[in-house]
Chains A and B, each alone.
Chain A
């Protein structure tokens, strides 16, 4: 088998894979090719589980340890046969929550925790890097097998260069098909198709080799079985601990491996495919492992002692002269290695970019700023860099480890590492009480134990842990020996690390979960995932309104791409019953958009981005509470404003009223000025006229007396008018001095009625009084109070124009106050005038009709005020009614001031 021919075949094969991936991608983009997402392709893509470790390593493993290699496939078989139990839920959760990776799932479940996302990502990177190195090594080794001794090709000279070339080629393929589109559902039809084809190649290669071994050179089934029994040597016995422990580990690994999560959950197009894969994938695994033991037995028998059993798959057909078969086997091994590296790189790059790079990128941006950069480009760049980084790491590890270890041990170490995610994963799916703190603590301690007890010692005694520490523990602490923790000696190192890491992981996870209290978002997410089959809808609640559809569309375009984003928004608008335009940012829509975006950038990042646009409203319950607080403050503020504006309104009304009053008063005053000049002028005119007549002689005595009487009367009238004005002025300026004495009300009213009887019309009014009620005493100024009564009674005499006028004086007295109502049965005061009736110069009816100057009630009010009481008009009574309220003695201090 010429080496150059093999190289040409390998390159042709790679080119074919590129073509297949390209065609599948194109068909998927055009919406054709439903077979691309068939249960068969799904099942075959799961075969990414079978890496070069399986292809080459299983035979080596079987040659060394007999049946034990089966544990690596029995674990996944049990998990898949029991798909109804765990996988169904895992896939449902992954699909409904648009989970992009195992780190995303853990992070989402525990309240979109960035910390957990980072932890799982680091664990995955650490656990997968050696595995990628292993694949590179297998390709380099297998090429080395074909390089004939003495050939001076670059392969034989420098296997690490082969590793570099393979790594670079894989990086190119992965970047090309793995980050081609940043699809919302994060599927890669081209990659999946290529992997399905590779799955067929490796299965066909192993089975062809197996058939050749059993029937071609082995002489049938029974002879093969006999050969297996003959090949058994010490080391082939079934060790109970390892058998059960490794089965458990591989079962855990198939659930937790990032690449398995990628093909099993993320690339899953239809949940029904899982039901098929539930039996078809175990069948695939069984067929893959079926001929491993015969090949190992045959290799042990035919190949010289010291031949590397990890390469029996290649060396056996070569030794038998079957070049074509060996080439097929090489392609199978190449397929196993490349498919694993591609999927692992995609899965890891998703995790690294979503949980480490993007959060850093977003955090570096000023908070609250609008999306100014092209996030879509940033995400793609982060993915591509992550892929290159992951492969570079794998290559460096390969260089560092020198490609010396047995293949299987790296695989197992990696398995135990990723199995640390299992408690957090299962707890997250089935136990609502699992908390973020518990998951982080369990994961942390399991991770630490794994690194200390298994990962570091795996570099050998001269590696990262010195032989001294391995033998005696760090600083002489014997019980902390990496491979004999707490003094437990004699366990297989892998099982030792598995038992301790899982026990501590699960224990700490449970205890801390029980003791801690989850955040509200965590509880929400936990309920959604644990009860995923109860279809909790939209519990992720975005508060309505603050998000702007336009901003969201802009952001979505940058992440999903313009056409997808617009299609999504248009679809949503249609669903909301809008013919065109943008959809309303309902909570349901925001939740859906967030899930869609999380397909591209991960749940936590998507959440942060939507939150950035929606102003963080209602995301975390703390935020909700803060929003509620603010709303409360706003409500209080607005109610305060309302109160203020009420007050302003009242003030304005009062001002308007007082303005109207002032205007009315001003008009009255004008009227009064002309009135008073008239009033003053009229008596003055008569006085002047009659005094001129008196000055002329020749009047009779009678005439003189009469004229003198008129002059006297007019002078009195003038005096009275001026007295009234003076009185009022004095009262208003509080210059009055009161003569306080204890008096009886009845005496005062008697005096007032007598005095008022001089008023014209007094005789026709019937006065009704209750003298018993009036027989109360009070301390007041008798003259002033009498003046008030005179005014009130006189007004009634003047203005009551009823047919039979009646004036009643009603007195009600209690311990502190006396109330006197003076009521007539006349027309009363019209509503419009009630406000100004107590003002100066106000007089109803035509001027001069009743002969007053309009000062009476103003004087009454001032007197009542000075006496510590008040006088009001009673609009609700029939006729004109005034109520005078007076203190029986309390007003004294006030009055005497």
Chain B
């Protein structure tokens, strides 16, 4: 599932009061929140790409590239980055929103 397959999930109808015009441009707080949601969607994709990288190092012969210890350090480093990223994002995403986001992002 790519991020693009979740349209409208974050623009719940219930949060958009009926009859209210959908704002084309969001105010700063909501805009930030939207970008955080984007980041949350990008995070696993970025992680997957980073975790595929070691394969490229060894794409030549088996002797090429760093040894398993270096590979392990790299993988664990990416792992820690993912954990940190997820922790930061979830911290911001679970802050009760001051004002419900409105409108659909173009």
Which residues of chain B in 1-55 are interfacial with respect to chain A, using CB atoms and an 8 Å cutoff?
A: 1, 3, 5-6, 8-10, 12-14, 37, 40-41, 43-45, 47-48, 51-52, 54-55
Q: Is the C-beta of B106 less than 8 angstroms from some C-beta in chain A?
A: no
Can you list 14 A-B pairs, Cβ within 8 angstroms, ordered by A?
A: A67-B54, A67-B68, A81-B47, A81-B85, A84-B37, A228-B69, A229-B67, A240-B55, A247-B48, A279-B87, A282-B83, A430-B5, A430-B6, A533-B9
- Residues from chain B with a CB closer than 8 A to the CB of A225 are 69, 73
- Residues from chain A with a CB closer than 8 A to the CB of B47 are 77-78, 81-82
Is the beta-carbon distance between B71 and A79 smaller than 8 angstroms?
no
Is the beta-carbon distance between B58 and A238 smaller than 8 angstroms?
yes
Which one of A100-108, A179-187, A270-278, A671-679 is at the B interface?
A270-278
Min CB distance A283 to B, Å, is: 5
Q: Give CA–CA (A383, B74) in the complex, Å.
A: 46
Is the beta-carbon distance between A85 and B83 smaller than 8 angstroms?
no
Q: Give CA–CA (A531, B13) in the complex, Å.
A: 10
- Residues from chain B with a CB closer than 8 A to the CB of A275 are 90-91, 93-94
Is the beta-carbon distance between A244 and B83 smaller than 8 angstroms?
no
Complex interface bits, B70-88 against A, C-beta within 8 A gives 1, otherwise 0:
0111011001101111110
Q: Which listed residue (A79, A226, A228, A234) contacts B44, Cβ 8 A?
A: A79
> In chain A, what residue has the closest Cβ to B13?
A534
> In chain A, what residue has the closest Cβ to B2?
A85
Is the beta-carbon distance between A238 and B12 smaller than 8 angstroms?
no
- The tally of CB-CB contacts under 8 A between chains A and B is 124
Is the beta-carbon distance between A534 and B12 smaller than 8 angstroms?
yes
Task: List 6 A-B pairs, minimum CB-CB distance, nearest first.
Answer: A82-B44, A84-B40, A279-B86, A279-B87, A275-B90, A225-B69
Q: Is the C-beta of A392 less than 8 angstroms from some C-beta in chain B?
A: no
> In chain B, what residue has the closest Cβ to A70?
B75
Q: Give CA–CA (A236, B72) in the complex, Å.
A: 12
Instruction: Provide the main secondary structure of the chain A interface.
Output: helix
Complex interface bits, A282-294 against B, C-beta within 8 A gives 1, otherwise 0:
1100100010010
A228-B72, A535-B12 known; A279-B83 Cβ under 8 A: yes
Is the beta-carbon distance between A82 and B40 smaller than 8 angstroms?
yes
Q: Which listed residue (B1, B58, B68, B80) contacts A293, Cβ 8 A?
A: B68
Chain B residue total in the interface (Cβ 8 A): 46
A74-B51, A286-B83 known; A82-B93 Cβ under 8 A: no
- Residues from chain B with a CB closer than 8 A to the CB of A279 are 83-84, 86-87, 90
Is the beta-carbon distance between A226 and B93 smaller than 8 angstroms?
no
Is the beta-carbon distance between A238 and B86 smaller than 8 angstroms?
no
Q: Give CA–CA (A77, B50) in the complex, Å.
A: 13
Q: Which listed residue (B8, B69, B76) contacts A290, Cβ 8 A?
A: B76
Which of B51, B54, B68 has the largest count of A CB atoms less than 10 A from its CB?
B68
Is the beta-carbon distance between A84 and B68 smaller than 8 angstroms?
no
- Residues from chain A with a CB closer than 8 A to the CB of B80 are 286
Is the beta-carbon distance between A534 and B8 smaller than 8 angstroms?
yes
Q: Give CA–CA (A80, B82) in the complex, Å.
A: 10
- Residues from chain B with a CB closer than 8 A to the CB of A67 are 54, 68, 71-72, 75
Is the beta-carbon distance between A228 and B68 smaller than 8 angstroms?
yes
Q: Is the C-beta of A86 less than 8 angstroms from some C-beta in chain B?
A: yes
Is the beta-carbon distance between A232 and B6 smaller than 8 angstroms?
no
Is the beta-carbon distance between A81 and B12 smaller than 8 angstroms?
no
> In chain B, what residue has the closest Cβ to A228?
B69
Is the beta-carbon distance between A81 and B13 smaller than 8 angstroms?
no
Is the beta-carbon distance between B68 and A232 smaller than 8 angstroms?
yes
Is the beta-carbon distance between B69 and A81 smaller than 8 angstroms?
no
- Residues from chain A with a CB closer than 8 A to the CB of B68 are 66-67, 228-229, 232, 236, 293
- Residues from chain B with a CB closer than 8 A to the CB of A77 are 47, 79, 82-83
Is the beta-carbon distance between A244 and B52 smaller than 8 angstroms?
yes
A238-B54, A282-B83 known; A85-B67 Cβ under 8 A: no
Complex interface bits, A47-68 against B, C-beta within 8 A gives 1, otherwise 0:
0000000000000000000110
Is the beta-carbon distance between B58 and A237 smaller than 8 angstroms?
yes
- Residues from chain B with a CB closer than 8 A to the CB of A244 are 52, 55
Q: Give CA–CA (A527, B56) in the complex, Å.
A: 42
> In chain B, what residue has the closest Cβ to A85?
B41
Is the beta-carbon distance between B82 and A243 smaller than 8 angstroms?
no
Is the beta-carbon distance between A286 and B55 smaller than 8 angstroms?
no
Q: Is the C-beta of A829 less than 8 angstroms from some C-beta in chain B?
A: no
Min CB distance A274 to B, Å, is: 8
Q: Which listed residue (A293, A430, A535) contacts B13, Cβ 8 A?
A: A535
Q: Is the C-beta of A426 less than 8 angstroms from some C-beta in chain B?
A: yes
- Residues from chain B with a CB closer than 8 A to the CB of A531 are 8
Q: Is the C-beta of A751 less than 8 angstroms from some C-beta in chain B?
A: no
Which of B14, B84, B87 has the largest count of A CB atoms less than 10 A from its CB?
B87
Instruction: Provide the main secondary structure of the chain B interface.
Output: helix
- Residues from chain A with a CB closer than 8 A to the CB of B55 are 238, 240, 243-244
- Residues from chain B with a CB closer than 8 A to the CB of A430 are 1, 5-6
Which residues of chain A in 614-629 are interfacial with respect to chain B, using CB atoms and an 8 Å cutoff?
A: none
Q: Is the C-beta of A89 less than 8 angstroms from some C-beta in chain B?
A: yes
Q: Give CA–CA (A225, B28) in the complex, Å.
A: 48
Is the beta-carbon distance between B75 and A535 smaller than 8 angstroms?
no
- Residues from chain A with a CB closer than 8 A to the CB of B71 are 67, 238
Q: Give CA–CA (A305, B23) in the complex, Å.
A: 70
Min CB distance B33 to A, Å, is: 12
- Residues from chain B with a CB closer than 8 A to the CB of A426 are 1
Min CB distance A443 to B, Å, is: 18
Q: Give CA–CA (A229, B1) in the complex, Å.
A: 37
- Residues from chain B with a CB closer than 8 A to the CB of A293 are 68, 72
- Residues from chain B with a CB closer than 8 A to the CB of A431 are 5
Q: Give CA–CA (A286, B5) in the complex, Å.
A: 29
Q: Is the C-beta of A177 less than 8 angstroms from some C-beta in chain B?
A: no
Complex interface bits, A536-561 against B, C-beta within 8 A gives 1, otherwise 0:
00000000000000000000000000
Which residues of chain A in 157-214 are interfacial with respect to chain B, using CB atoms and an 8 Å cutoff?
A: none
Q: Give CA–CA (A83, B86) in the complex, Å.
A: 9
Q: Give CA–CA (A282, B47) in the complex, Å.
A: 12
Q: Give CA–CA (A228, B59) in the complex, Å.
A: 21
- Residues from chain B with a CB closer than 8 A to the CB of A283 are 83
**Known interface pairs A67-B75, A228-B72; 5 further A-B residue pairs with C-beta atoms within 8 A, sorted by A's residue number:** A81-B83, A83-B90, A86-B1, A279-B87, A430-B5
Min CB distance B18 to A, Å, is: 13
Is the beta-carbon distance between A80 and B86 smaller than 8 angstroms?
yes
Min CB distance A295 to B, Å, is: 13
Q: Give CA–CA (A226, B73) in the complex, Å.
A: 12
Min CB distance A714 to B, Å, is: 100
Q: Give CA–CA (A877, B68) in the complex, Å.
A: 120
Q: Give CA–CA (A229, B69) in the complex, Å.
A: 6
Min CB distance A842 to B, Å, is: 75
- Residues from chain A with a CB closer than 8 A to the CB of B98 are none
Q: Give CA–CA (A62, B80) in the complex, Å.
A: 20
Is the beta-carbon distance between B44 and A78 smaller than 8 angstroms?
yes
> In chain A, what residue has the closest Cβ to B92?
A275
Min CB distance A605 to B, Å, is: 30
Q: Give CA–CA (A29, B70) in the complex, Å.
A: 51
Is the beta-carbon distance between A85 and B3 smaller than 8 angstroms?
yes
- Residues from chain B with a CB closer than 8 A to the CB of A243 are 52, 54-55
Is the beta-carbon distance between A282 and B82 smaller than 8 angstroms?
yes
Which residues of chain A in 242-256 are interfacial with respect to chain B, using CB atoms and an 8 Å cutoff?
A: 243-244, 247
- Residues from chain A with a CB closer than 8 A to the CB of B62 are 234, 237
> In chain A, what residue has the closest Cβ to B71?
A67
Q: Give CA–CA (A74, B41) in the complex, Å.
A: 17
A67-B75, A85-B40, A286-B79 known; A278-B69 Cβ under 8 A: no
> In chain A, what residue has the closest Cβ to B10?
A533
Min CB distance A855 to B, Å, is: 82
Is the beta-carbon distance between B9 and A278 smaller than 8 angstroms?
no
Q: Give CA–CA (A236, B63) in the complex, Å.
A: 11
Which of A83, A234, A236 has the largest count of B CB atoms less than 10 A from its CB?
A83
- Residues from chain A with a CB closer than 8 A to the CB of B14 are 534-535
- Residues from chain A with a CB closer than 8 A to the CB of B85 are 81
Q: Give CA–CA (A682, B6) in the complex, Å.
A: 112
Q: Give CA–CA (A187, B40) in the complex, Å.
A: 29
Is the beta-carbon distance between A286 and B76 smaller than 8 angstroms?
yes
> In chain B, what residue has the closest Cβ to A222?
B69
- Residues from chain A with a CB closer than 8 A to the CB of B13 are 534-535
